[in-house]
Amino acid sequence: MPEGLAETLWSIATGELRGPEAEAVLDRVLQDPDTAELWRATFALAEEAGLENAAGSDEADVDESQLLADSPAANSRPAANTGPMGSRWLGLAGAAAAALMLVWLWPSPKPPTPGDPSVDDPTVAPVIRAVDHPAIGSALESESLPREACLLQWKGGPVGARFDVWVETRAGVRLATGLDLEGTQFQVPVDALRDVAEGEAIVWRITALAEDGRRVDSPSFQVRVQ
């Protein structure tokens, strides 16, 4: 351990050290589970002491939850023991926490609930989440698509946005995802549809990530697979 790591970690945890100095230590955290452990211990103790500069600072206006919004993973972080920072104790690169981290990494869209009008009634207007861009809507011209060419298309959303696409059965079983797409279409792989019966509807929806960081969710759409 280089001299002064304890002091450096403490300074980071208490907000006295930010930016490049913190980044240098952080770069070790990923590669070295031991350093990650020391990092966590320091932040935990700073929080216990009430000295952690940023503890609890994810104020109400923060839409961090949207990072994993609609996701079971959003609720599957380790149990918070004490306070807002109680959930942070995943050991990056630590083998024992890997499985849990895997769940945490994987947001999954909230399955459409029965009776959700946006699923059951395709004529229901989408909810407009922001007023400075057109709402995201389906651009499909047909109510059904051949499974060999199940090309989902949409329109709207913030200018310059990238898109995530979530495709599920109506029961909420995920069939396919497309992440960080530049275009406004997504081809559902044939293999993903192998268990979908002829004429069965699949549900899909879009999350747009605007250039300024905003996230905009579409309503759910459905299309039948032929």
Partner 1 sequence: MQAPGVATDEMTAMASAVRRAVGRALRPAMASYADDIAQSAMERLVARMRADPSTKPRTQRYLWMMANHAVIDEIRALQRRRESPESEEGIALVGNPHDSAHRRELGEAITACVGALPLPRRRAVTLYLQGHGVTEAAEILGWVRKQADNAVYRGLAAVRRCLEGKGITP
Which residues ranging from 49 to 108 are in contact with partner 1 (CB under 8 A)?
49, 51, 53-55, 57-59, 62-64, 67, 77-78, 81-82, 84-99, 101-108
For partner 1, which is the closer residue by CB, 19 or 114?
19
Q: From CA 121, how far away is CA 195, in angstroms rounded? A: 24
> Shortest gap between Cβ of 72 and partner 1 (angstroms)?
9
> Shortest gap between Cβ of 142 and partner 1 (angstroms)?
29
Contact call for residues 223 and 145 (beta carbons, < 8 A): yes
Cα angle at 91 between 88 and 96, to 5 degrees?
Answer: 120
For partner 1, which is the closer residue by CB, 78 or 122?
78
The interface region with partner 1, picked from 13-21, 132-140, 187-195, 217-225 by CB under 8 A, is: 13-21
Number of residues that bind partner 1 (CB under 8 A): 82
The interface region with partner 1, picked from 111-119, 139-147, 153-161, 210-218 by CB under 8 A, is: 210-218
Residue 217 in the binding site for partner 1 (CB under 8 A): no
The interface region with partner 1, picked from 45-53, 129-137, 149-157, 198-206 by CB under 8 A, is: 45-53
The residue within the footprint of partner 1, chosen from 129, 133, 215, 224 (CB under 8 A), is 215
> Shortest gap between Cβ of 198 and partner 1 (angstroms)?
27
List, in order, residues 6 or more apart from 40 with CB less than 8 Å away.
88, 89, 91
Place of tokens 């495709």: 167
Closest CA to 44 of 3, 77, 14: 14
For partner 1, which is the closer residue by CB, 89 or 135?
89
> Shortest gap between Cβ of 82 and partner 1 (angstroms)?
6
Burial 152-182 (b: 16+ CB within 10 A, else e): bebebbbeebbbbbbbbbbeeeebbbbeeee
For 109, half-sphere exposure in the C-beta direction (CA atoms, 13 angstrom radius) is 28
Q: Which of residues 140-199 bind partner 1 (CB under 8 A)?
A: 164, 179-180
> Shortest gap between Cβ of 111 and partner 1 (angstroms)?
15
Structural tokens at position 50 = 């009430």
Q: What is the CA radius of gyration of the chain?
A: 22
Q: From CA 28, how far away is CA 9, in angstroms rounded? A: 12
Residue 130 in the binding site for partner 1 (CB under 8 A): no
> Torsion angle of alpha carbons 189, 187, 162, 30, nearest 10°?
10
> Shortest gap between Cβ of 91 and partner 1 (angstroms)?
5
